[in-house]
């Protein structure tokens, strides 16, 4: 009975605190300013600049909207093999981020009218592992994976775009989900096609396992592809 009483008091206190924050005139502008600053800072650390237009934030329901966001690479990273290095520019138009709690995850959905992504060319190759000799030029660092897991380990994220463009090519509607199933494994799912892949952070590589096929893949930058593939193929004979 006491547990129920204290639980009710905590819930009531939380509701009252949320009400006070929502009604206070300075809360939303301050949160909007903080969101903008944190967004700019996070991409600046990755060597990218941001342009953000018409940002609108709501506490209840939890919702973030903007009309245009451009993330553009202006310099190379100190870590040349970081997977963030793949991206050149990302443009997200007429977007909304909604958040709601679930039993085990925080449900987060990003829905944009248009997503336009420019990235460096990549060669996808079926490989079991990469020799440490080539790891410095492989587009992956374990710190990238740990950083993402530390921020989104309890998220179940859905990304939707009415119109997706990759390097100028129209790809139609985008609908995917991803969530961490452990500290070293990220599952990505395309609900419409029921296709899934598993990204596994290993000692010297990001192993990409396409579920249902038993195949493992890795991705290499173009300058390394022609050098490494003959050696991988010969080692498998």
Print the domain residue range for 175.
Answer: 115-237
Confirm whether 187 is domain-assigned: yes
CA distance 39 to 167: 24
Residue 208 lies in a domain: yes
In a domain, 96, yes or no: no
pLDDT single digits (tens) 158-202:
999 999 999 999 999 999 999 999 888 999 999 888 888 888 887
Report the DSSP pairing between strands 106-119 and 155-166: parallel
pLDDT mean over 203-218: 74
- For residue 149, being part of any structural domain is answered with yes
* Domain total in the chain: 1
Residue 47 lies in a domain: no
- Contact predicate 95/110, CB 8 Å: yes
Evaluate whether 34 touches 63 at the Cβ level (below 8 Å): no
Percent pLDDT > 90 in the chain is 27
What is the per-residue pLDDT for 91? 96
Alpha carbon distances (Å) from 224 to 106, 144, 209: 39, 21, 21
């Amino acid at each position: 009975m006491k547990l129920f009483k204290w639980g009710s008091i905590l819930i009531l206190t939380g509701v009252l605190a949320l009400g006070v924050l929502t009604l206070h005139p300075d809360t939303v502008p301050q949160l909007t300013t903080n969101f903008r600053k944190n967004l700019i800072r996070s991409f600046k650390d990755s060597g990218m600049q941001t342009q953000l237009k018409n940002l609108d934030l709501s506490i209840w329901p939890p919702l973030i909207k903007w009309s245009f966001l451009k993330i553009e690479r202006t310099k190379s990273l100190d870590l040349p093999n970081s997977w963030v290095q793949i991206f050149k520019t990302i443009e997200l138009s007429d977007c909304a981020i909604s958040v709601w709690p679930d039993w085990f995850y925080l449900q987060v959905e990003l829905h944009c009218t248009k997503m336009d992504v420019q990235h460096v060319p990549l060669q996808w190759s079926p490989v079991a592992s990469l020799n440490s000799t080539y790891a410095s030029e492989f587009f992956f660092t374990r710190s990238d994976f740990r950083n993402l897991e530390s921020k989104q380990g309890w998220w179940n994220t859905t990304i939707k775009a009415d119109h997706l463009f990759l390097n100028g090519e129209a790809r139609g509607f985008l609908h995917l989900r991803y969530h961490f199933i452990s500290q070293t494994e990220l599952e990505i799912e395309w609900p419409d096609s029921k296709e899934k892949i598993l990204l596994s952070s290993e000692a010297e590589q990001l192993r990409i396992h396409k579920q249902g096929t038993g195949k493992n893949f890795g991705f290499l930058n173009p300058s390394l592809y022609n050098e490494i593939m003959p050696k991988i193929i010969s080692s498998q004979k």
